Amino acid sequence: MKIIILVVFIGLSNLLNAQHENSHVADKPLYRDPIHNGAADPCVIWNKKEQLWYMFYTNRRANIDSLDNVSWVHGTEIGIATSSNNGSTWSYKGICTIDYQPTDQYSYWAPEVIENKGIYHMFLTYVPGIFSDWYHERKIIHLTSSDLINWDFVMELKLASERVIDADIIKLPNGNWRLFYNNENDGKSIYYTDSDNLNQWPNPSKKAVKERGEGPVVFKWKELYWMICDSWDGLSVYNSTDLTNWNKQEHNILKEPGKGIDDQVKGGHPDVVIDNGKAYIFYFTHPGRVPSNKGKDSYETRRSSIQVAELHFNEKDITITCNRDQKVTLNLTRIMH
């Protein structure tokens, strides 16, 4: 009788463990916006007050047929999704209330959100209008919030040109801050500038890497600094020991299509969360941009989805790889991004 009870107990325990593990298997796709189905440029952070993970994203208007050329990528708000089960499933919450509309028409792109001393800071790309082409002014603005929903304008950053996008912030070893961004007027290369307080950026901008790219995300992992950029052919990967001199690895990640739902195309504009020594990359895809749809502009080629995958470190040649078809058991702990 004892043997039978023990066998039943072990079987039940294994079943519960399997159910627990499966409860944290990340959805694929991880998230789709229910309003316009155009979620892009994700940024993930822990909300201390609500005890929830928040995901911010550019909410592109993919499902509005009347918008021609690239006007559907303009007129965008910043969407919010939340996760109560540590990142494996996400639900739509709404949009950010942003206290900065100096023009009647505007576009918000590519939010970067960090926490410092109990205050949340957003560095946001602002486009003063809704346009059907790409060649217009863009700026990066600084906003603050206590609740991650309502955002107050602080300042417009004076950077290398009048066409700058895609901010990313990292804290330096000396306590200062470094902001990376895309300077579109210099061949869409990545620039950086420093601040000691997040509110003044007096240092002249410098070029970080010479190659074209946008959407940089910079983070520390495996005793190195890493920069991952969207180079429109998958994601370029760089490493550095000092956040100034960068070495580019030979192979891009998320270049080859995956097999999962909405993941059979190149990955774009990412964010990275480090948790318990592991690195998870959140990125977006345009699922309809497969070879058979090349040159087409439709709802199917415009819509986008957020995905997640785990990064892997190769110590032998100091590179990062990513198997996007590998199941991701995501159980993020309550840490700050």
> From the CB of residue 182, how many other CB atoms can be counted at a distance below 10 Å?
26
Nearest alpha carbon to residue 256 among 264, 246, 247, 245: 264
- Which of 145, 146, 136, 82 lies closest to 109, judged by CA? 136
Domain boundaries, the chain: 28-322
DSSP class of residue 325 equals: T
Q: Which residues lie below 8 Å from residue 237, measured CB to CB, with a gap of 6+?
A: 226, 227, 228, 248, 249, 252, 253, 319, 320
Provide the pLDDT for residue 333.
84
Give me the pLDDT at residue 144, please. 98
pLDDT, tens only, 177-193:
999 999 999 999 999 99
pTM, two decimals, is: 0.92
HEC-encoded secondary structure of 167-201? EEEEECCCCCEEEEEEEHHHCCEEEEEEECCCCCC
- Specify the pLDDT at position 309: 98
The predicted structure's pLDDT at residue 23: 59
Instruction: State which amino acid sits at residue 334.
Output: R
CATH code, 28-322: 2.115.10.20
The reported pLDDT for the residue numbered 170 is: 98
Which pLDDT belongs to residue 12? 38
pLDDT one digit per residue (tens) for the chain, 337 residues? 444 443 333 343 443 344 444 558 999 999 999 999 999 999 999 999 999 999 999 999 999 999 999 999 999 999 999 998 899 999 999 999 999 999 999 999 999 999 999 999 999 999 999 999 999 999 999 999 999 999 999 999 999 999 999 999 999 999 999 999 999 999 999 999 999 999 999 999 999 998 999 999 999 999 999 999 999 999 999 999 999 999 999 999 999 999 999 999 999 999 999 999 999 999 999 999 999 999 999 999 999 999 999 999 999 999 999 999 999 999 998 654 4
- pLDDT at position 259: 97
What is the structure's pLDDT at 8? 39
CB neighbours of 43 closer than 8 A, spacing ≥ 6? 55, 56, 57, 111, 112, 113, 271
Fill in the amino acid letter for 335: I
pLDDT at 334: 66
Q: Cis bond leading into 216, ω under 30°?
A: no
pLDDT of residue 225: 98
